[in-house]
Chains A and B, each alone.
Chain A
Amino acid sequence: MSVLTRTPAPQGRTRISRLQGKARYAPTLATVGLFLAMFAAGAIMYPGFLSGQVFLNLLIDNTFLIVLAVGMTFVILTGGIDLSVGSVVALSMMIAAALLQAGWNPIAVIALVLLTGATFGLLMGLVIQVFEIQPFIVTLAGLFLARGLCYVISVDSITVTDPFFTAMAQARIPLTGNLFIAPGVVIALVVVAIAFYVLHQTRFGRTVYAIGGGESSALLMGLAVPRTKVLVYGISGLCSAIAGILFSFYSLSGYSLAATGLELDAIAAVVVGGTLLTGGYGYVLGSLAGVLILGIVQTFISYEGTLSSWWTRIVIGALLLAFILLQKLFSRKVKLT
């Protein structure tokens, strides 16, 4: 059987597929629209909200969530799920903090943490693929394992005093005017750009979408389905490790209980960003918008002094529900056309 080397040219598109093509952007456009509406509402309600720095702070405060959401997008696009990301973030922070405390070179520490995260993800992917166990239960085991390993390293919080990490935590890159960003933002945006390139310009990316669209069809097309399915979990693990390093830059410590429930935020960001949970549809830029929406919810609640922090969780839950219902409507429409 011959292997498809390139996708057929789009010249023979029918009217139906063009309709689907437009509908495909609907959830992501809804996300971007919602973000703009929320930002505008904030600008009207609160003086000082409409500034570039408020927007940039959204990025600065959520760098790790952006990277996590990127990894999660890959996994969800194949129709899987990764519940272990929050724990892997905590584990990465603990490994980094413990090794830095032991006097390791920061670059070596970062390299080792990234390697650990990627390996952890690949191993989970292998178990999922080789033994045909549901991703949900395997990554649940991963959640337990990574969180438990945090406690094995140390039950107490470890402070990071390494000069490189503190420099990264305090560094600000000035932009035009009085605006500035943190180095973490650059890293996060580079990760988004690479993910965008990989998903849309490489054969690997097309395979990811194909698996989400229909695994057996992808297999029959001769695509490297098993390898790709293992690799997406590796990517998610790597992204979790990067997020762990970014979180370390942000918090300058390692703590076993850090990042609890972060997997829910990451999944919520991806869903709010318009990626279909059944796989096959979605964009990494949508996930970025999803993270920004979660961030702006938090900003709203801190601007509105009377609202307590737990409203964040309730609002995120409500947003998640709203977008799931929207997806439901959207997928029905696609079936009709």
Chain B
Amino acid sequence: MNALLKHRLTWPVLALVLLLVLNQLFRSDFLSVRVQDGHLYGSLIDILRNGAPTILIALGMTLVIASRGIDLSVGAVAAIAGAVSCTYIYNSPDPTSLRTAAIGVSIAVVAGLALGLWNGFLVAVIGIQPIIATLVLMTAGRGLAQLVTDGQIISVSNDPYQAIGAGFFLGLPISILIAVAAFAVAGLLTRRTALGTLIEAVGINPVASRLAGLNARTITWTVYVFSGLCAAIAGLMISSNVTAADANNAGLYIEMDAILAVVIGGTSLAGGRYSLVGTLVGALIIQTLTTTVYTLGIPPEVTLVFKALVVIIVCLLQSSKARTLLGKRKRPLTEQAEVKVAV
């Protein structure tokens, strides 16, 4: 029992269950899932479907944060991915075919990889702090996306493309299947091989891990490329779901949601410790919170206030300082410093 209470996933899962119960109390049909036209329908399915982009981006963000980095540019990368694929499909001679959709998606994926390479280059090779290095693309990225779409909202009507964000396969939304597949691949690659431990080692101490014989530079570079890839696929989902590329608003604030999901999931912002399952639960909590606000009839714009409160509470729970303040009072730092000087 004690071990269960101390497990780092216990509290996030408990919070998720609580949120779901709260919703069920206010809307009795909340938890029911029904089959319609061969697809599953219901609020739970909606949460999964709308949460898929956040889940994917949070997945990439988890590994970046585990290496003691941060990627602020994911929202902009998502916007660029949606912009390039939609612009390609819109301008192609055959805008409804599967081939066009496939090429559009490939271009977006390549763009995401390239932007990830760029971020990784700035962080791993040039050695700029991650928050600043990715800030460059966060600032310029939406401009680039607008450059691609020429400032317009590009609408496309291509059925295969639309399937990515809004389609169903075997009764389940395709977007969530993609997200789950990405999770499975990332889980296998990092937890069934040594890669996850290596990323954590870099996160704990990049210099020490390099001296221990790890190729810290390549590992750091890889996590940013992976984050760029995740962001690009998420951008495809977002644009496909609304069948349009909106350079200004696609993926706006999604980097904040993703970071929030990662933090809720128990991954330390200081690097060196991560939990993919925790991130999944965290992302689901964020999406359920958004849905709860709708269910309770609170104006949806107020969601931001709730998110802010959740961030603050989670950070306080994670902060060792807050715990010591609640428990035994530690000696203040100044006192310790004085003692050292006196000696």
User: In the complex the two chains form, is A131's CB within 8 Å of B308's CB?
Assistant: no
Q: Indicate whether A317 sits within 8 Å of B139 (C-beta atoms), given known contacts A137-B259, A141-B315.
A: yes
Shortest Cβ distance from residue B56 to the other chain A in the assembled complex, whole angstroms = 20
Q: How far is the CA of A168 from the CA of B338 in the complex (A)?
A: 52
Q: How many A-B residue pairs have CB under 8 A?
A: 135
User: In the complex the two chains form, is A219's CB within 8 Å of B322's CB?
Assistant: no
The residue in chain A whose Cβ has the minimal distance to the Cβ of B147 is A310
Q: How far is the CA of A103 from the CA of B290 in the complex (A)?
A: 35
User: In the complex the two chains form, is B128's CB within 8 Å of A324's CB?
Assistant: yes
Q: Indicate whether A277 sits within 8 Å of B321 (C-beta atoms), given known contacts A145-B304, A267-B135.
A: no
> Is A320 interfacial (CB 8 A cutoff)?
yes
Q: Mark A261-277, 1 if CB is under 8 A from B, else 0.
A: 00010011001000001
Residues of B within 8 A of A328 (CB): 126-128
User: In the complex the two chains form, is B132's CB within 8 Å of A277's CB?
Assistant: yes
Shortest Cβ distance from residue B207 to the other chain A in the assembled complex, whole angstroms = 16
> Is B311 interfacial (CB 8 A cutoff)?
yes
> Is B124 interfacial (CB 8 A cutoff)?
no
> Is B184 interfacial (CB 8 A cutoff)?
no
User: In the complex the two chains form, is A151's CB within 8 Å of B334's CB?
Assistant: no
> Is A155 interfacial (CB 8 A cutoff)?
yes
User: In the complex the two chains form, is B151's CB within 8 Å of A216's CB?
Assistant: no
Interface centre among A141, A149, A264, A312 (most CB of B within 10 A): A141
Q: Contacting A147 at CB < 8 Å: which of B141, B259, B304, B315?
A: B304
> Is A148 interfacial (CB 8 A cutoff)?
yes
Q: How far is the CA of A70 from the CA of B131 in the complex (A)?
A: 21
User: In the complex the two chains form, is B304's CB within 8 Å of A144's CB?
Assistant: yes
Q: Mark B21-41, 1 if CB is under 8 A from A, else 0.
A: 000000000000000000000
> Is A136 interfacial (CB 8 A cutoff)?
yes
Q: Contacting B151 at CB < 8 Å: which of A134, A144, A310?
A: A310
Q: Mark B112-145, 1 if CB is under 8 A from A, else 0.
A: 0000000000100011110111011111111110
The residue in chain B whose Cβ has the minimal distance to the Cβ of A151 is B301
> Is B111 interfacial (CB 8 A cutoff)?
no
User: In the complex the two chains form, is B138's CB within 8 Å of A141's CB?
Assistant: no
User: In the complex the two chains form, is B263's CB within 8 Å of A137's CB?
Assistant: yes
> Is B4 interfacial (CB 8 A cutoff)?
no
> Is B172 interfacial (CB 8 A cutoff)?
no
Residues of A within 8 A of B247 (CB): 310
> Is B302 interfacial (CB 8 A cutoff)?
yes
Q: Indicate whether A138 sits within 8 Å of B315 (C-beta atoms), given known contacts A1-B342, A219-B333, A314-B147.
A: yes
**Which DSSP category, helix, strand, loop or mixed, fits chain A's interface?**
helix
B-side interface residues, number (CB < 8 Å): 55
Residues of B within 8 A of A219 (CB): 333-334, 337
Q: Indicate whether A142 sits within 8 Å of B308 (C-beta atoms), given known contacts A1-B341, A317-B136.
A: yes
User: In the complex the two chains form, is B135's CB within 8 Å of A264's CB?
Assistant: yes
Shortest Cβ distance from residue A256 to the other chain B in the assembled complex, whole angstroms = 7
> Is A187 interfacial (CB 8 A cutoff)?
no
Q: How far is the CA of A71 from the CA of B142 in the complex (A)?
A: 26
Q: Mark B16-60, 1 if CB is under 8 A from A, else 0.
A: 000000000000000000000000000000000000000000000
Kindly state the interface size class of chain A when it binds its partner.
35 or more
Q: How far is the CA of A308 from the CA of B152 in the complex (A)?
A: 12
User: In the complex the two chains form, is B259's CB within 8 Å of A140's CB?
Assistant: yes
> Is B299 interfacial (CB 8 A cutoff)?
yes
User: In the complex the two chains form, is B126's CB within 8 Å of A144's CB?
Assistant: no
> Is A259 interfacial (CB 8 A cutoff)?
no
Q: How far is the CA of A140 from the CA of B143 in the complex (A)?
A: 22
User: In the complex the two chains form, is B126's CB within 8 Å of A325's CB?
Assistant: yes
Q: Mark A249-267, 1 if CB is under 8 A from B, else 0.
A: 0000000100000001001
User: In the complex the two chains form, is B341's CB within 8 Å of A220's CB?
Assistant: yes
Q: Mark A77-95, 1 if CB is under 8 A from B, else 0.
A: 0000100000000000000
Interface centre among A145, A220, A277 (most CB of B within 10 A): A145
A-contacting residues, B303-329, CB 8 Å:
303-309, 311-312, 315-316, 319-322, 325
> Is B269 interfacial (CB 8 A cutoff)?
yes
Q: How far is the CA of A152 from the CA of B305 in the complex (A)?
A: 9
Residues of A within 8 A of B144 (CB): 314
Known interface pairs A132-B320, A155-B299; 10 further A-B residue pairs with C-beta atoms within 8 A, sorted by A's residue number: A131-B321, A143-B308, A144-B305, A151-B301, A308-B146, A310-B151, A317-B137, A317-B139, A318-B140, A320-B140
A-B contact pairs, 18 of them (CB 8 A): A1-B341, A127-B316, A132-B319, A143-B256, A148-B302, A148-B305, A148-B306, A151-B301, A216-B337, A219-B337, A220-B341, A225-B334, A264-B135, A308-B147, A308-B150, A309-B151, A310-B147, A324-B128
